[in-house]
Amino acid sequence: MEISRKTYICAKGEIEVYRLENSRGAWVELSSLGAGIMSVGVPDREGRIENVALGYANPADYLYDGPCMGKTAGRYANRIAEGKLRIAGKDYQLATNCGPHHLHGGPEGFQNQLWQSREIESGVEFSLHSPAGDENYPGAMDVKLTYTWDDECRLTLSFEATADAETVVNLTNHTYWNLRGAESGEALLQEVRMKASRWLPTDPTLVPLGELAGVEGTPMDFREWKPVGKEIAEEFPALKYGKGYDNCWVIDGAEPGRPVENAVELRDKESGRVLAIDSDQPGVQLYTGNWLKGSPRGRAGREFEDYDGVAIEMQGFPDAPNKPQFPSQILRPGEVYKRKIVYRFMTK
C-alpha cells in the first residue's frame, strides 16, 4: 500500500489530503476537512480505473458546502425535529439549519471541522474533540474514525465515540456515488438493491412520523435490483416531499457489532462496477442528489446537476432522540459508540 499526503489551505487552516493506492493501482483520497472521502478510483470490467465518488476540484470548497460532499456528518447525522432535544431530563435547543429542523449536527457540525489525522497501516486515522456545548449538544465528545484500504478494493470505515455526559450520536459518511464515473452526469440508471423490507414514512419536511411501513407495492421497494430512478417520478408522497428519494430504510437484521453483508448494493451495468456495502447501522438514508445543482465545480471543471450522484448513508434513524420506539442513539459516560461501514468494489 502506497500512502502519500498533501496539504491545502482553507478558511479554517490546513487540510491534510491522503492518497491510498493499492497494488492494483486503485486509490482512495481522504481529507481531514470533515474526515471525508474525496475520490475513489476503481476499475471497470475492462480494467479501466476511474473515480466514482463525486468531489470538488478545490479541497477548500468542501467547507460549508450544501451537499455535505463525501464527509462525516455529526454529532447527529440527518434530522432532529425542530432542533429539540431532551437528554437526562433537560431540554436543549439545537440550531435549525434545514427549514424548521436540525440537520447533520448543525452549521458547525463534524463535517465542517478540521480533524486531526495520522497515517496508520493501510489507512488513516482521523480524530476530533467536540467540547461540551458544541452546537449546544450536552457533554464533551471524542470521536475517532479509521479508514483502511486493501488490495481487494475494500474501504473500511470504523467509527468510535465516547462522551463525559449523556448525549446523542449518529455518525455516517455522505459520499455521492456514480459508478459510471464521477463526471458522467445523471446517476439514476444505477441499480440499487437493499435488505430492507420496511422504511420510515415522514411528514412533508422529511421528519419521520415514528412508524415503520412495509415497502411491498410501493416505490420504496428495493429488495430486488431496480434502477434508482425507475419510479422516482411516481405520484407517491415521499417522492414529492424531497423531489426524489431522501428517505430512511430499516436494514433487516442489523445490530451494533454485527454487520449485515450486502446490506445495500449499487451497480452500473455499462461499466460493470458494483459497490456492496456491509454495515451494522440500523438504517440507510438513500438520497438521489436532488439538490446538487449549484455545488462547487467538480474535478473536470463541470457543474454538477441534480441527480448526478446517489448518497447511501448507513446510519441510525432520523429523529431517534425524539422517537423512543426507534433504536436508541443515546451515548452515556463509560460507553463506547462503535459502528462500521465497509464499501466493497468489484465488477460483474
pLDDT by position in tens, the chain (length 348) = 999 999 999 999 999 999 999 999 999 999 999 999 999 999 999 999 999 999 999 999 999 999 999 999 999 999 999 999 999 999 999 999 999 999 999 999 999 999 999 999 999 999 999 999 999 999 999 999 999 999 999 999 999 999 999 999 999 999 999 999 999 999 999 999 999 999 999 999 999 999 999 999 999 999 999 999 999 999 999 999 999 999 999 999 998 899 999 999 999 999 999 999 999 999 999 999 999 999 999 998 889 999 999 999 999 999 999 999 999 999 999 999 999 999 999 999
Question: Which H or E run includes 53?
Answer: none
Q: Is 129 among the residues known to form the active site?
A: no
User: Which phi-psi region, left, alpha or beta, contains residue 119 (left: φ > 0; alpha: ψ -120 to 50)?
Assistant: beta
Smallest Cα–Cα separation from 260: which of 244, 231, 236, 284? 284
Q: Do the Cβ atoms of 67 and 60 come closer than 8 Å?
A: no
What domain count does the chain have? 1
pTM, to two decimals? 0.97
Catalytic residue among 16, 104, 174, 191: 174
pLDDT at 329: 98
- What residues are paired with 194 via a beta bridge? 264
| Grid coordinates given for 343 | 464499501
Q: Is 313 among the residues known to form the active site?
A: yes
What is d(CA 60, CA 11) in angstroms, rounded to the nearest whole number?
A: 8
| Grid coordinates given for 190 | 444505477
Query: What is the DSSP secondary-structure string of 17-39?
Result: EEEEE-TTS-EEEEETBTTEEEE
Report the CATH number at residue 272: 2.70.98.10
pLDDT at 181: 97
Catalytic residue among 16, 50, 135, 313: 313
What is d(CA 270, CA 190) in angstroms, rounded to the nearest whole number?
A: 9
Amino acid at 24: R
SS3 of the chain: helix, strand, coil, percent, to 5: 5, 45, 50
Smallest Cα–Cα separation from 244: which of 206, 274, 284? 206
What sign results for the dihedral spanned by CA atoms 266, 67, 77, 202?
A: negative
What is d(CA 35, CA 51) in angstroms, rounded to the nearest whole number?
A: 18
Residue ranges making up the domain that contains 219: 2-347
What is d(CA 192, CA 52) in angstroms, rounded to the nearest whole number?
A: 16
What is d(CA 20, CA 4) in angstroms, rounded to the nearest whole number?
A: 7
